[in-house]
Chain A
Amino acid sequence: MNGMHADFLTLLAGIIGLLIVASGVGYALKQRIAPDGNNATIENLNARILAWWGMTAFLAVAFLAGRGGVILLFAFVSFAALREFVTLTDRRRADHWAIAAAFFVILPAQYALIWCEWYGMWSALIPVYAFLILPIIAVLQSDTEDFLMRISQMQWSLMICVFCASHVPALLFLDIPGFEGRNVLLIAFLIVVVQLSDVLQYTWGKLLGRHPVAPKLSPSKTWEGLIGGVASATLIGTALWWITPFTPLQAALMSLIITLAGFFGGLVMSAIKRDRGVKDWGHMIAGHGGFIDRLDSVVFSAPIFFHLTRYFWSMT
């Protein structure tokens, strides 16, 4: 057992403690208010808590399995998210091969390149090569109807679901002096802070929320929820400085930036759902909707967190 494992297990114990408390509260609420299960909010809360248990278990197993586990887990998450995203895009029969290439060539290549630590290539594969190759494949089918729209949607699907999401496992390969062998804790820090921020925004919003931030987009996102959630998640992030290479002040700044990025990510993804006329991205996670519903804030904060850490702390 080395330092990384000890810190990871401490963090895991904290999360499990939190989930036990949450499950207890959820159970008590159900018993007191609607034991027959006819209160939708409480049922949804309990479904969410149960899904959190599952996600924690998946992440913990992947982390303990090492870099292969983490890369495989996020490759699968990207696949599931891309499947949800592409389902909602405007596709035509002529796009079949381009979309198949996105799923079965570009997605695996992105994660393989991250495994090889070829930074120059994985950071260019989707914004540069896929950006040019996909329209070339599609144009060969000579169907020009809505061409720009189809190609843009294809490219955005890849950027969000594969490129942005792949920055999470890429954190494993930053070379930070004095932090060797502990990079998986950076991922844990990012996910814990962003997800707690989501939960706390939801909680503060339910308790105090009065003034919606963007009423047209999402009536449930309020200023009270935003400020309370970001502030409390930033506090928790600061308290977690000991698992990161950051000082407490730096951890606070990082937490603030990633929670804000996460909030706006959620807003952007809500706008896309509005545009497409759906409530959830998918149906894979009970109580949460699809993978993207749970991932939206992570995909927006991951690249920013990765690059800030890389500029200021990494040797590579």
Chain B
Amino acid sequence: MFKQFLAWITGNAITTFARFITAVRAIWDGVEPVPAQRVYFANHTSNGDFILIWTVLPPNLRSRTRPVAGADYWLTSPLRTFIGRDVFNAVLIDRNSETRTDDPMQLILDGIDTGASLIIFPEGTRNMTDAPLLPFKSGIFNISEARPEVDLVPVWIDNLNDVMPKGKLVPIPLLCTVTFGAPIRAEAGEAREDFLKRAEAALLNLAPKDKQPVDAEVAA
């Protein structure tokens, strides 16, 4: 009971801080903030990415949306464990294939089967390059194939990588936006590569025009 209360306070402190620094705004572009079960997939440039998505979700959606995060990071200290497990209620998966005991895909599907929405980062790791996106891992294809009735919603997070670049302890305040796009699903018989390409394009399409690669703009 007390721990729950503490987690609620901490969650609100984190979202308030995120708003103070970024004045973050949600843009619902092709999908509405309604309580449907979804897998949100987003670009990943900063440790604060899922916090920003979590902050802009309306409270009734937020309480049933769980980020998928690395257990190897979130279970390494009591504070991180509290934040990862109690505040964000994350689906914690061990990214290290040698030490893990549970199958990550099974944990994710279990999460979906409890009725929760999920936030995942299909690039698998933080993008430190100049490219707008790293190639997607297969996870979202496997999810969509196993649970074809769940919508996959692309989410573009803008500017957060400049707020707190890797290795800097103090954030600089900049306006950020979180853009939610039209949902996609893997179609019956669709090849893995085709689906992943489609998902990448759907996500990239939400980025501001000046951040999209030139050839993508020509193609579109």
- A residues adjacent to B (C-beta < 8 A): 79-80, 82-84, 86-87, 91, 93, 96-97, 99-100, 103-104, 282-284
User: With A and B bound together, what is the CA distance between A282 and B23 in angstroms?
Assistant: 9
Beyond A83-B175, A104-B170, 20 additional contacts (C-beta under 8 Å) are A79-B173, A80-B23, A83-B173, A84-B175, A86-B172, A86-B174, A87-B159, A87-B174, A93-B165, A96-B165, A96-B172, A97-B168, A99-B172, A100-B170, A100-B171, A100-B172, A103-B172, A283-B23, A283-B25, A284-B23
Q: How far is the CB of A137 from chain B (nearest CB, A)?
A: 13
Of the A-B pairs whose beta carbons lie under 8 Å apart in the complex, a sample of 11, sorted by A's number, is: A82-B173, A83-B174, A83-B175, A86-B172, A87-B174, A87-B175, A91-B162, A97-B168, A100-B171, A283-B25, A284-B23
Q: Which of A84, A96, A99, A282 has the most CB of B within 10 A?
A: A96
Interface string of B24-55 (1 = CB under 8 A from A): 01000000000000000000000000000000
User: With A and B bound together, what is the CA distance between A307 and B173 in angstroms?
Assistant: 31
User: With A and B bound together, what is the CA distance between A115 and B127 in angstroms?
Assistant: 44
- B residues adjacent to A (C-beta < 8 A): 23, 25, 159, 162, 165, 168, 170-175
User: Which chain A residue lies CB-closest to B175?
Assistant: A87
User: With A and B bound together, what is the CA distance between A104 and B171 in angstroms?
Assistant: 10
Main secondary structure on A side of the interface with B = helix
Count A-B contacts at CB 8 Å: 35
Residues of chain A lying within 8 A (CB to CB) of residue B159: 87
Q: How far is the CB of B146 from chain A (nearest CB, A)?
A: 39
User: With A and B bound together, what is the CA distance between A91 and B173 in angstroms?
Assistant: 13
Residues of chain B lying within 8 A (CB to CB) of residue A104: 170
User: With A and B bound together, what is the CA distance between A4 and B162 in angstroms?
Assistant: 46
8 A-B pairs with least C-beta separation: A83-B173, A87-B175, A100-B170, A87-B174, A99-B172, A100-B172, A96-B168, A283-B25
Q: Are B173 and A103 in contact (CB under 8 A)?
A: yes
Q: How far is the CB of B150 from chain A (nearest CB, A)?
A: 31
Q: How far is the CB of A47 from chain B (nearest CB, A)?
A: 15
Residues of chain B lying within 8 A (CB to CB) of residue A96: 165, 168, 172
User: With A and B bound together, what is the CA distance between A79 and B21 in angstroms?
Assistant: 10
Residues of chain A lying within 8 A (CB to CB) of residue B171: 100
Q: How far is the CB of A162 from chain B (nearest CB, A)?
A: 13
User: With A and B bound together, what is the CA distance between A80 and B175 in angstroms?
Assistant: 9
Residues of chain B lying within 8 A (CB to CB) of residue A84: 175
Residues of chain B lying within 8 A (CB to CB) of residue A91: 162
Q: How far is the CB of B70 from chain A (nearest CB, A)?
A: 25
User: Which chain A residue lies CB-closest to B174?
Assistant: A87
Residues of chain B lying within 8 A (CB to CB) of residue A87: 159, 174-175
User: With A and B bound together, what is the CA distance between A91 and B159 in angstroms?
Assistant: 12
Residues of chain A lying within 8 A (CB to CB) of residue B174: 83, 86-87
Residues of chain A lying within 8 A (CB to CB) of residue B170: 97, 100, 104
User: With A and B bound together, what is the CA distance between A143 and B156 in angstroms?
Assistant: 29
User: Which chain A residue lies CB-closest to B169?
Assistant: A100
User: With A and B bound together, what is the CA distance between A283 and B174 in angstroms?
Assistant: 12
Q: How far is the CB of B194 from chain A (nearest CB, A)?
A: 35
Q: Which of B23, B25, B165 has the most CB of A within 10 A?
A: B23
Using known A-B contacts A83-B23, A87-B159, A91-B162, determine if residue A282 contacts B175 with beta carbons closer than 8 Å: yes
Residues of chain A lying within 8 A (CB to CB) of residue B168: 96-97, 100
Residues of chain B lying within 8 A (CB to CB) of residue A86: 172-174
Residues of chain B lying within 8 A (CB to CB) of residue A100: 168, 170-172
User: Which chain B residue lies CB-closest to A290?
Assistant: B175
Residues of chain B lying within 8 A (CB to CB) of residue A79: 173
